[in-house]
């Protein structure tokens, strides 16, 4: 065969190869088309330990994204209740809006985080769908909805105080795991009552990790980053300095504790004007300092909280929202403080007259008075040792 004949097969081979490379690159660049295609690293053959769903399966589970199945909404899109396995397994399906460019990064962060985390008090990711350029996450279904659904702006009956304490403890344990139980430190960055979900047994689970930041460098005291979060829950120190630490989560959780106690939103619109808002965190701290918690406590709880328990709970919440982040407790200490509050509530029910005003405890014996005083000394001196001996963040 002459040299010219030998070049023909080689030329054809390179032509086909060039076409395939061009076609692959064109598909990636096609993301600017009218139906935006999302470039995402997760595929059916990825190493993530989750189920991969086709878009057809997702549409079947939600009756083609029927509005009647919407159970939540956010800046990224909607959350639907769906059923898979022939209707046997209920799930929650988060569908990213096609125009949400920020949501792509946040959902990638969420799937990356949840692939590394396993804890009783963190929401579980069931699977995902990236079929036909979509970005969809599938979670275990939380039958009781969000914590906020049971506090205010709702037709649900008010939760008993002991149940509220148990929910707070569960959520605190979830954050405790993120801060100190996982590999490195993970900062949630968007702790709020709508991101605390409740399953059918009322077990609290922290959710929505799209804004989370993680570091394996435990020697770092902070992460310098653009401020993100939700108004009313945002750590003022983080907002001013743009330095993120786990204590920013602690501040936000303190606001959640205020919501639980007061059954009011983090930002309260006054009756005078919708433009004027009252910050629940500042209002609660002021009332606590002045011994006036009775002014804002949930009316359904009045006369039902043991005063010692209320003292401890208020101390925990106020300490979480300290202006100086280094003087806020760790989530380990928050868990211990809330557990103490629960123990006091259980141990004193029926023995101590519950009061509507903090500091007005009436005991039937000097022994009960001594127990209450010792409890407050414990919470101030031991559990919140960081207040007097602040450690670096």
Is 94 one of the annotated binding-site residues? yes
With beta carbons less than 8 A apart as the criterion, state whether 258 and 235 touch.
no
With beta carbons less than 8 A apart as the criterion, state whether 71 and 106 touch.
no
How crowded is residue 3: how many other Cβ atoms within 10 Å of its Cβ? 6
| Token pair for 231 | 């108004």
Does residue 149 have an active-site annotation? no
Report how far residue 23's alpha carbon sits from residue 4's, in angstroms, rounded to the nearest whole number. Answer: 29
Q: Indicate which residue of 140, 149, 190, 249 is catalytic.
A: 190
Measured torsion, CA atoms of residues 93, 96, 102, 105, in degrees rounded to the nearest 10: 60
Q: How many residues does the chain have?
A: 393
Residue 231: partners with Cβ closer than 8 Å, 6 or more residues away: 266, 267
DSSP letter for each residue of 86-109: TTTEEEEEEEE-TT-HHHHHHHHH
The residues that bridge with 77 in the sheet, in sequence order, are 74, 96
Distance from chain centroid for Cα 112: 16
Report how far residue 277's alpha carbon sits from residue 258's, in angstroms, rounded to the nearest whole number. Answer: 16
Annotated binding site: 94
Give the catalytic positions in this structure: 190
Annotated binding site for ATP: 94
């Amino acid at each position: 065969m002459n040299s010219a004949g030998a070049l023909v097969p080689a030329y054809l081979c390179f032509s086909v190869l060039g076409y395939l490379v061009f076609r692959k690159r064109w598909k990636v660049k096609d993301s600017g088309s009218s139906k935006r295609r999302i470039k995402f690293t997760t595929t059916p053959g990825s190493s993530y330990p989750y189920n991969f769903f086709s878009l057809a399966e997702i549409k079947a589970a939600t009756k083609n994204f029927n509005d009647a199945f919407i159970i939540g909404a956010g800046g990224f899109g909607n959350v639907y209740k769906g059923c898979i396995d022939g209707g046997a397994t209920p799930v929650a399906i988060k569908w990213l809006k096609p125009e949400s460019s920020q949501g792509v990064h946040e959902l990638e962060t969420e799937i990356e985080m949840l692939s590394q985390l396993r804890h009783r008090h963190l929401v579980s990711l069931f699977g995902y769908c990236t079929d036909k350029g979509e970005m969809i996450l599938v979670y275990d279904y939380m039958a009781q909805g969000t914590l906020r659904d049971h506090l205010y702006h709702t037709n649900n009956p008010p939760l008993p105080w002991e149940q509220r304490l148990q929910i707070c403890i569960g959520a605190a344990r979830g954050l405790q795991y993120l801060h100190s139980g996982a590999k490195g430190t993970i900062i949630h960055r968007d702790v709020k009552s709508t991101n605390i979900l409740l399953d059918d047994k009322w077990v609290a689970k922290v959710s929505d990790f799209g804004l989370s930041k993680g570091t394996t460098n435990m020697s770092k005291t902070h992460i310098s980053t653009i401020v993100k979060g939700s108004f009313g829950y945002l750590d003022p120190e983080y907002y001013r300095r743009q330095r993120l630490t786990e204590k920013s989560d602690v501040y936000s959780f303190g606001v959640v504790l205020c919501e639980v106690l007061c059954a009011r939103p983090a930002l309260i619109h006054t009756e005078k004007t919708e433009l004027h808002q009252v910050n629940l965190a500042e209002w609660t701290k002021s009332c606590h300092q002045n011994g006036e918690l009775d002014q804002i406590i949930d009316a359904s709880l009045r006369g039902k909280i043991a005063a010692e328990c209320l003292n401890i709970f208020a101390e925990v919440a106020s300490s979480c929202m300290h202006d100086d982040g280094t003087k806020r407790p760790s989530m380990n200490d928050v868990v211990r403080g809330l557990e103490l509050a629960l123990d006091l509530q259980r141990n004193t029910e029926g023995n101590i007259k519950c009061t509507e005003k903090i500091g007005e405890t009436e005991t039937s014996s000097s022994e009960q008075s001594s127990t209450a005083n010792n409890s407050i000394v414990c919470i101030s001196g031991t559990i919140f040792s960081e207040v007097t001996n602040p450690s670096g963040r």
